[in-house]
């Protein structure tokens, strides 16, 4: 019986250590994502504002394409706010998964709208 209790204690300790390592990895990845995505969002906002003002769209993009990209950008901003809230609530894994997707979407929009990071 004592051996079974000790084995169970070991399993619990191992699971706790695994969970802590996963949380630490998620925190590190979140830190990286939260340092890279918001600047892209700022650049995209500036580019969307510029294109809306000048109506000179990137090569191969018409007004409908721009409106679709603008809608995608608004959705991206909303989802980033949601991911940030999830992280603050301790839902790190969900927040990181969402943030990874949002980073890829941001990069795609940067290319589509010909936005530059510098």
**31-36 own/partner pairs: CB under 8 Å, 24+ apart:** 33/96, 33/99, 33/100, 33/103, 34/84, 34/87, 34/99, 36/103
Domain layout of the chain by residue ranges: 29-112
Q: What is the pLDDT of residues 12-46, one digit of tens each?
A: 878 888 778 888 888 899 999 999 999 999 999 99
- Whole-structure pTM over 0.95, yes or no? no
What is the model's pLDDT at position 5?
Answer: 80
């Amino acid at each position: 019986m004592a051996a079974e209790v000790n084995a169970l204690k070991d399993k619990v300790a191992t699971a706790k250590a695994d969970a802590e390592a996963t949380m630490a990895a998620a925190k590190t990845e979140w830190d990286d994502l939260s340092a890279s995505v918001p600047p892209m969002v700022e650049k995209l906002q500036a580019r969307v504002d510029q294109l809306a003002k000048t109506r000179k769209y990137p090569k191969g993009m018409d007004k409908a394409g721009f409106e679709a990209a603008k809608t995608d950008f608004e959705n991206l901003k909303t989802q980033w706010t949601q991911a940030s809230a999830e992280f603050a609530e301790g839902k790190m894994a969900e927040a990181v998964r969402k943030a990874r997707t949002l980073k890829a979407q941001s990069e795609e929009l940067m290319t589509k709208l010909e936005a530059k990071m510098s």
